[in-house]
Amino acid sequence: MKEVYVIGAGCTPFGDLHTRDAVAMAREASFQALEDAGVDISDIDIFYVGSVRSVTSGSFLGNALGVRNKPVTRVENFCASGMDAVRQAAIAVMSGQARIALAVGVEKLRDATRRGLGFRSFHPVFVFGATPPGLFALAANRYMHTYGIGRETLAKVAVKNHRNGAKNPLAHFRKEITVETVLKAPIVAYPFGVFDCSPVTDGASAVVIASRDVAEGLGKAQVFIRGFGLAVMHTEPMYDPSFKYTGFPVTTEAAGQAYKMADISRPLEEISFAEVHDCFTMTEILNYEDLGFAEKGEGWKLIEEGVTELEGKFPVNPSGGLKSFGHPIGATGARMIFEVYSQLTGRCGERQVKNAHTGLAHNIGGPGTVSTVMILSLRS
Amino acid sequence: MRVPALKGICLYLPAFRIEKGLIASQYMQRARGTRTFRWFDEDECTMAIEASMGVVEGTGVDTIGCVIYAAEKGPYRRKSTASVIADVLGLSTDTLTVDITGSERVSAEGLLVAKRICEATGQEVLVTGGFCEHGEPGSDEDIHGGDAGWAMVVGEGGGIVLEEFWVARANVFVKWERGEDTYFLPDGFTVPFELLPTAAAILNRAIEKSGASKVVIGTSSNRLPSQLKRKLGDRNITLFHHDSTTTGVLGSASLPFAMADAVEKCEPGESIVMLAPGDGALAITAKSSDPDNVKIVRINAENPVVFDLYGLYRKIVTYSFEEADTSPIAYWRDAQRIFQLRGGKCGNCGKVFYPYSDLCPSCGFTPVRETVPLSREGRVFTYTTDHITPSPIGKVTHAVVELEGGGRIFVQMTDSLEEMVEIGAPVKLVIRRIHSGGGIENYGWKARMVK
Ligand SMILES: [Zn+2]
């Protein structure tokens, strides 16, 4: 398989971007990425835009970037949309169809005034009224019941990610919090309080991917895409009578694909750090197990023992994660690649992971419906 | 000659009560006792369904050939409610469904039609109804009304044989409501005097003919029975009516509630007259052959939750699901999957799942051909109490329920103000309005805690 490189990445600040619409955000992130890569918009052969609800079609990039007469595809895969866009761009370059590709993820959520994302009904009555926090809370309650952990353990995930995010100039919430703050916050969907949930955020992030030849020509052949995977299952896992609610098999499947491609068998030793999908505190703990960082039922020990702290043996979400960086749904996956690329190229200042050579990024979308994993490494 | 008789009665009350005095005091009035009120996801149809499922529980629905919905009104002005009920019970599409609406005597009319159908066809008939009354804030209906559902099965081999009937028709505006009225408005024009002589006349005739010693009056009023008693002279008659002290006035549902009390005190060979007032009055005589052979089921008669907040009570009974959107076409397309509690059974992995799909959600096998009936009883596998899901109480508990005998269902919990359920807690499935989007009542399954 052809080696492909991340040669540039860009990201808007995440937060309440009331002065910018989706077009402006996508433009800002994309041109930042192009500048970082040292290429012109006219050099891009193919475009992918990931978004869950802010973009209707590929022509969006006609507006945002002035793209004319080139292939643009809108990618939608729940919370994995942004990383799937990056994955599509990588595949396009690997196939030889494109020499340079741009993937941008964007989401405009803060134009709405209501709390959270509300709920969307896919059917007149089935699963009616279920919300994202509620669906993940089903797993949280089952896990807590099965393995006997309390809300305090979940809270430590939020505390860690806020501590990291406070060091991140682009993060939505740059403020450290305490376990007590998390536990005392109003309940959103039990056991999740406000601080167990990632925020509703605006933002965009973009990644430029190039073939080895192009990357070497630009002197940018530093960080290559070592492996990726994507797995999708039934949209409503709660219809599956064998679904255990103590983990998400799609993550294990997507990670398995990526590890195989990257030739990784001991992730905790072979990977330096990870950006995982902490849409809710519980999700991060489930991710530890599903990604193979811990045995089933023991992921919570990593947070209790400080293993995944920025200074720990295996930092997870040095960016602040969805929890503190923010979660503009379709942008998040691209933002993770932006973070992993920034870490591997040593640009992360206060939140820099020391001696990072390999980073993993992971999304889970829907309540266990879809997952993407991507692994980037420094060229040795 | 077929002998139609009463085989079962089920009486359903919502789980909630409120002190009438609390409502009255908001409007400088006094009242005593409590009234029942429907939960925000209940209506006349769902309460009739609760009672219908209760009356057939254990005996099944295979023998039922007709469903009659008999109530002052139903959820729709122009759509069959009996058909919804028949669908939920899983009755075949050639089952006769009849809706009867009108005055307070409508439950007796339903019983009479049931008797006729049974005589003509030999089929068992399920007669059911629901009653909700709230009126505008501070009205008599707000303070003294009540909500309930009921169901009776009429068929051969029952314990109380339905015999003759007498009717005295009068076009009387005692209680009325036009289609366009938001609330029941009984302003000014009532004719309470017509009723008494009319009812007394046919009641006397029915008693003479049947030799009845018990009279069941289909009313929740205490005044009417005592007035009638005076008109009956020195006959040795025991009068039964529905006492509204704890439930509120139950309209046409009063008759089945009073009838259940009478049946429980009835000796073999005794005769009963049922008298239902409303646009005149209707009397039906019945002879007890084997009163123990009438199954009587009461749901939520004990341990109600008593509200102490008037504002919250009003919010619940007037709640409309504004944010919901749906399509009547999509609802119609899925009606069988929605109503009938049947799961798919995978031909490959053997798992039972709900809702039915021809592709197994567990192993992906297709086509799944077999469906199996699911139990209404189950236990919570996992849950969450979600404060974002719209509801008048500010939260909704969602639960994954493992059903007895296999299968899982993902439902909202209902009938509770409480935050929490527990994993492993026993629950029972019920039909409720999931929401009213798309201009229709989107009925579906929910679950309530088993106390
Ligand atoms: Zn199967």
Q: Give distance in angstroms: CA of B354 to centre of ligand 1.
A: 12
- For A134, name the nearest residue in chain B, comparing CA atoms only: B386
Q: B25 pLDDT band (50/70/90 cuts)?
A: very high
- Provide the domain count of chain B: 2
Question: CB-based contact (8 Å) between B437 and chain A?
Answer: yes
Cis peptide before B355 (omega within 30 of 0): yes
Looking at the structure, tell me whether residues B149 and B193 fall in a common domain: yes
What domain range includes position B203? Answer: 4-301+310-317
Q: Is A256 exposed, middle or buried (0-12, 13-18, 19+ CB in 10 A)?
A: middle
List, as ranges, residues 158-197 from A with C-beta within 8 Å of B: 186-191
Q: What does the pLDDT average to over B277-299?
A: 94
Closest Cβ–Cβ partner in B362, B388, B396 for A115: B388
Mean pLDDT of chain B: 92
* Minimal C-alpha gap between A105 and chain B (Å): 27
- Is it the case that residue A115 has pLDDT exceeding 70? no
Q: Give distance in angstroms: CA of B404 to centre of ligand 1.
A: 19
* Minimal C-alpha gap between B292 and chain A (Å): 41
- Cβ distance B386 to A129 less than 8 Å, yes or no, reads yes
Q: Is residue B257 part of a domain?
A: yes
Looking at the structure, tell me whether residues B110 and B243 fall in a common domain: yes
Looking at the structure, tell me whether residues B268 and B145 fall in a common domain: yes
- Is it the case that residue B238 has pLDDT exceeding 60? yes
Q: Is residue B47 part of a domain?
A: yes
* Residue B150, φ and ψ in degrees, nearest 5: -150, 160
The predicted structure's pLDDT at residue B181 = 66
Instruction: Give the length of chain A.
Output: 380
Which letter does DSSP use for residue B252 in this model?
G
Is A79 an active-site residue? yes
Looking at the structure, tell me whether residues B148 and B270 fall in a common domain: yes
- Cβ distance A129 to B419 less than 8 Å, yes or no, reads no
At B385, which CATH number? 2.40.50.840
Q: B235 pLDDT band (50/70/90 cuts)?
A: confident
Question: CB-based contact (8 Å) between A141 and chain B?
Answer: yes
β-strand partners of A316? A274
Q: Which contacts of B180-188 are long-range, i.e. CB under 8 A and separated by 24 or more positions?
A: B182/B136, B183/B134, B183/B135, B183/B136, B183/B139, B183/B141, B184/B133, B184/B135, B184/B139, B184/B141, B185/B135, B185/B136, B186/B140
Q: B188 pLDDT band (50/70/90 cuts)?
A: very low
**Cβ contacts of B383 on chain A, cutoff 8 Å:** 138, 141
Looking at the structure, tell me whether residues B50 and B118 fall in a common domain: yes
Looking at the structure, tell me whether residues B264 and B335 fall in a common domain: no
The predicted structure's pLDDT at residue B173 = 64
- Is it the case that residue B198 has pLDDT exceeding 90? no
* Minimal C-alpha gap between B28 and chain A (Å): 37
* Minimal C-alpha gap between A31 and chain B (Å): 37
The predicted structure's pLDDT at residue B327 = 84
Q: Give distance in angstroms: CA of B368 to centre of ligand 1.
A: 8
Beta strands A273-275 and B238-241 are unpaired
Question: CB-based contact (8 Å) between B390 and chain A?
Answer: yes
Looking at the structure, tell me whether residues B80 and B197 fall in a common domain: yes
Contact in structure between A84 and A332 (CB atoms under 8 Å): no
Is A11 an active-site residue? no
Rg of chain B taking only CA atoms, in angstroms: 22
Contact in structure between A207 and A181 (CB atoms under 8 Å): no
Looking at the structure, tell me whether residues B266 and B337 fall in a common domain: no
The predicted structure's pLDDT at residue B34 = 97
Q: B194 pLDDT band (50/70/90 cuts)?
A: low
Closest Cβ–Cβ partner in A121, A129, A190 for B385: A190
* Minimal C-alpha gap between A125 and chain B (Å): 6
Q: How confident is the model over A223-270, as pLDDT tens digits?
A: 999 999 999 998 888 899 999 999 999 999 999 999 999 999 999 999
Q: A4 pLDDT band (50/70/90 cuts)?
A: very high
Q: How confident is the model over B311-337, as pLDDT tens digits?
A: 999 999 999 876 667 888 988 999 888
HEC per residue, A145-192: HHHCCCHHHHHHHHHHHHHHHCCCCCCCCCCCCCHHHHHHCCEEECCE
CA–CA gap between residue A334 and residue A207 (Å, rounded): 7
- Is it the case that residue B185 has pLDDT exceeding 60? no
Contact in structure between A173 and A161 (CB atoms under 8 Å): no
Q: Give distance in angstroms: CA of B351 to centre of ligand 1.
A: 6
Q: What does the pLDDT average to over B388-393?
A: 91
- Is it the case that residue B4 has pLDDT exceeding 60? yes
Active-site pick, A79, A197, A279, A348: A79
- Cβ distance A128 to B442 less than 8 Å, yes or no, reads yes
- Cβ distance B388 to A123 less than 8 Å, yes or no, reads no
At B139, which CATH number? 3.40.47.10
Q: Is residue B366 part of a domain?
A: no
Q: Is residue B65 part of a domain?
A: yes
Question: CB-based contact (8 Å) between B213 and chain A?
Answer: no
β-strand partners of A57? none
- Is it the case that residue B192 has pLDDT exceeding 80? no
Question: CB-based contact (8 Å) between B435 and chain A?
Answer: yes
Domain boundary among B317, B349, B364: B317
Distances from the Cα of A308 to the Cα of A29, A76, A202, A288, A354, angstroms: 29, 30, 27, 10, 13
Closest Cβ–Cβ partner in B355, B396, B406 for A129: B396
Q: How confident is the model over A335-370, as pLDDT tens digits?
A: 999 999 999 999 999 999 999 999 999 999 988 999
Q: How confident is the model over B204-233, as pLDDT tens digits?
A: 999 999 999 999 999 998 888 888 888 888
Q: Which contacts of A307-316 are long-range, i.e. CB under 8 A and separated by 24 or more positions?
A: A308/A160, A309/A160, A309/A163, A310/A163, A310/A164, A310/A351, A310/A353, A314/A268, A314/A271, A314/A273, A314/A274, A315/A272, A315/A273, A315/A274, A315/A353, A316/A273, A316/A274, A316/A275, A316/A276, A316/A284, A316/A288
Q: Is residue B410 part of a domain?
A: yes
Question: CB-based contact (8 Å) between A122 and chain B?
Answer: no
Q: What does the pLDDT average to over B417-439?
A: 90
- Cβ distance A126 to B444 less than 8 Å, yes or no, reads yes
Distances from the Cα of B174 to the Cα of A84, A186, B105, B248, angstroms: 68, 51, 12, 18
Looking at the structure, tell me whether residues B282 and B392 fall in a common domain: no
The predicted structure's pLDDT at residue A367 = 84
Looking at the structure, tell me whether residues B121 and B239 fall in a common domain: yes
| A interface test, pick of B329, B366, B387, B431 with most A CB neighbours within 10 Å | B387
**Cβ contacts of A116 on chain B, cutoff 8 Å:** 388
Between B323 and B288, the higher pLDDT residue: B288
Report how many Cβ contacts below 8 Å link chain A to chain B.
133
β-strand partners of B15? none
The predicted structure's pLDDT at residue B170 = 77
Looking at the structure, tell me whether residues B286 and B400 fall in a common domain: no
Q: What domains are there in chain A, each with its CATH number? A: 4-112+199-374 (3.40.47.10)
Token reading at A34: 């192009």
| B interface test, pick of A128, A196, A282 with most B CB neighbours within 10 Å | A128
User: How many CA atoms lie within 13 Å of B424's alpha carbon, on the beta-carbon side?
Assistant: 2
- Cβ distance A145 to B388 less than 8 Å, yes or no, reads no
Contact in structure between B351 and A241 (CB atoms under 8 Å): yes
Looking at the structure, tell me whether residues B174 and B53 fall in a common domain: yes
Closest Cβ–Cβ partner in B381, B383, B412 for A129: B412
- Cβ distance B361 to A236 less than 8 Å, yes or no, reads yes
**Cβ contacts of B352 on chain A, cutoff 8 Å:** 241
Question: CB-based contact (8 Å) between A112 and chain B?
Answer: no
* Minimal C-alpha gap between B322 and chain A (Å): 12
Active-site pick, A162, A172, A327, A362: A327
Q: How confident is the model over B112-158, as pLDDT tens digits?
A: 999 999 999 999 999 999 999 998 999 999 999 999 999 999 999 99
User: How many CA atoms lie within 13 Å of A93's alpha carbon, on the beta-carbon side?
Assistant: 30
Q: How confident is the model over A274-304, as pLDDT tens digits?
A: 999 999 999 999 999 999 999 999 999 999 9
Q: What does the pLDDT average to over A170-198?
A: 97
* Minimal C-alpha gap between A356 and chain B (Å): 39
Q: Is residue B237 part of a domain?
A: yes
- For B389, name the nearest residue in chain A, comparing CA atoms only: A129
B290-311 per-residue burial string, b: 16 or more CB within 10 A, e: under 16? ebebbbbbebbeeebeebeebe
Q: Which residue in B448, B445, B449 sits closest to B341, CA to CA?
A: B445
- Cβ distance B385 to A129 less than 8 Å, yes or no, reads no
Q: Is residue B355 part of a domain?
A: no
Q: What is the ipTM of this complex?
A: 0.95
Q: How confident is the model over B101-122, as pLDDT tens digits?
A: 999 999 999 999 999 999 999 9
Closest Cβ–Cβ partner in A118, A119, A134 for B384: A134
**Cβ contacts of B355 on chain A, cutoff 8 Å:** 126, 239
Q: Is residue B60 part of a domain?
A: yes
The predicted structure's pLDDT at residue A112 = 82
